[in-house]
Amino acid sequence: MTKPLNDTIHRVTQRVIDNSRKSRGDYLDLMDREGERQVNRHSLSCSNLAHAFAGAEDDQAAIKAARGPNLGVVTAYNDMLSAHQPYYRYPERMKIWAREVGATVQVAGGTPAMCDGVTQGEAGMELSLFSRDTIALSTVVALSHAMYDGVALLGICDKIVPGLLMGALRFGHLPAIFVPSGPMGTGISNKEKQRTRQLYAEGKVGRDELLASEMGSYHSPGTCTFYGTANSNQMMMEMMGLHVPGAAFVPPGAKLRQELSRAATHRLAAIGKSGEDFRPLGHVVDEKAIINAAIGLLATGGSTNHAIHIPAMARAAGIKFDWTDLSELSSAVPLVARVYPNGSGDVNHFHEAGGMGYVIGTLLDEGLAHADIMTVWDGGFEAYSREPGMDGDALTWRDPGPSGDTEMLRPASDPFQADGGMRLVEGNLGRACFKSSAVERERWTIEAPCRIFEDQPSVNEAFKKGELDRDVVVVVRYQGPRANGMPELHKLTPALGVLQDRGYRVALVTDGRMSGASGKVPAAIHCTPEALGGGPLSKLRDGDIVKVCAETGTLSTTADLDTREPAAEPAPEQGMGREIFAMFRAQADGAEQGASSMMATAGL
């Protein structure tokens, strides 16, 4: 028997609703006005309309005659990004599937899609976070032609899904569905990959061995198989009801994947304003859907990047959600999944063990998620507790049953740990996030002298010289949104992991980001206020005692910061286009608000 909604989840949800009352009301009023004045494409001048379907070829006659809904596709396709390479053929297939239900499809526009895996530790990483705003703006441009009755969003990876959703929410009077492409096949074991990385960091293997190891892991079209930001995105789209149920982790090229994409196209045609089951995006993404996304993140040990993305996506829908909300939810939501880097198996193993259908089912059974959300699919959120399959040529759904691997998935009544492992730490050094689900409990509290750095290479250089062979809190500052675009600092992980394995008490404190691939080293990340502009980290000095404690939620120093001046701020870097992103850095707000210059400047 399903339990009633958990009291903490109810309380946090009500607080979010109350805090968002005005901003959410303003957003819904705008969407109502947009829906009422939505341009009927056939009221456009003949010249406007002719421009809009001149290239539609086989669909020209249908669009001209207004025979059915016209669906816009916003695609983040490129074939450098393995996760997005399968999207190459999606639009032409979707055109065929749309015709099956009397609809038409046009590619409304494309967005950039960068790969954080390629840019880790490189200059291009400083563009990564603000690529999310760029993607949102590109989505808005794509949909500004007022030709569409629904939107298919083709994107998977780190900043791409949040950016697509943020942009699409400004057209929340239209229905929208995310259409994923699925993960690549499992390569070498994650344990072996991590072992080779640490050996390379210690100088015990060379570049050829390291590259061979990495190629054994990242080897074919599809999403990378570790449970980082990209796959956490797919989890959240399921938790918010923005996928066809069970679509997240079906591999590219599978018949089931094709049929799920076909079903998405058919469904999008059915939930438009002219039909009998209108489901506009702005109403699907409400306070409860945002809470569900956060619950999914906590229950599965998802990427810390979403401590920034969830507030930003919420904000685009007029909803206020912060780290206090996330941390309080974490106290009530148990960890039911261990997927690499928090466990040994990857997302393919997760999917085979029961995947999202199992996770959603067990959360609903224990009253740990909102069942009463509007989704893009018929049957409400409960429909997402079933897993898709094929019966001959027919798409079907079934109960996933018990966990297929209790080392990977456990019921919420018997979880891996009682809380979701995403904790707020705060004190005289600011507020930051600590992903406790990835860290052994005996390392949840670290107190040691700090060593101050202002970039990743300096940390790795000090490591190679043996200067960090001691108990130490490594502080990497001037890495926030306004300083340099808040790059991920994933290249710190091997060195800090080696120090920890040598028996030292080690932690990281930074106003930068850590990748969803980062693991076992305790870290207070996304520290806000950031160092640039006089934040507390700017006043730390080498040797100051710093304490990071997930048990008590502490991020503090014994140093008297009030008597100190901030350290000199580094000059902005140029090259790799970083200089023309200066406007994004200058206007960005804090990490806890979503670090969006676009939203801040718009007053949202």
- 516 pLDDT exceeds 60? no
Taking residues 33-61, what's their average pLDDT?
80
Q: How many CA atoms lie within 13 A of 313 on its CB side?
A: 30
| Residue 277 vs residue 203, higher pLDDT | 277
Q: Give the pLDDT of residue 515.
A: 67
Tell whether 527 is in a known binding site: no
pLDDT tens for each residue of 32-44: 999 988 766 767 7
Q: Which residues contact 441 (CB under 8 A, 6 or more apart)?
A: none
The DSSP annotation for 368-390 comes to -S-S----SSTT-GGGGGSEEEE
pLDDT bracket for residue 238 (50, 70, 90):
very high
| Residue 274 vs residue 466, higher pLDDT | 466
For residues 394 and 67, what is the distance between their CA atoms, to the nearest angstrom?
Answer: 27
Q: Are 225 and 187 in contact (CB under 8 A)?
A: yes
Q: Give the pLDDT of residue 518.
A: 57
Read off φ and ψ for residue 193, nearest 5 degrees.
-60, -45
For residues 102 and 9, what is the distance between their CA atoms, to the nearest angstrom?
Answer: 42
For residues 121 and 194, what is the distance between their CA atoms, to the nearest angstrom?
Answer: 17
Taking residues 175-204, what's their average pLDDT?
86
Is the C-alpha dihedral spanning 424, 426, 430, 435 positive or negative? Answer: negative
Q: Give the pLDDT of residue 275.
A: 85
pLDDT tens for each residue of 521-540: 999 999 999 999 999 999 99
Tell the residue number behind the tokens 């429909």, with chain if given: 383
Q: Give the pLDDT of residue 309.
A: 97
pTM: 0.95
Lowest mean pLDDT among 434-443, 453-462, 469-478: 434-443
- 395 pLDDT exceeds 90? yes
pLDDT tens for each residue of 356-393: 999 999 999 999 999 999 999 999 999 999 999 999 99
Tell whether 433 is in a known binding site: no
Q: Give the pLDDT of residue 246.
A: 97
Taking residues 158-166, what's their average pLDDT?
97
For residues 569 and 469, what is the distance between their CA atoms, to the nearest angstrom?
Answer: 28
Q: Give the pLDDT of residue 56.
A: 82
pLDDT tens for each residue of 544-595: 999 999 999 999 999 999 999 999 999 989 999 999 999 999 999 999 999 9
Q: Give the pLDDT of residue 24.
A: 98
Say how many C-beta atoms besides its own lie within 10 A of residue 313's C-beta: 29
For residues 594 and 599, what is the distance between their CA atoms, to the nearest angstrom?
Answer: 9
Read off φ and ψ for residue 365, nearest 5 degrees.
-60, -35
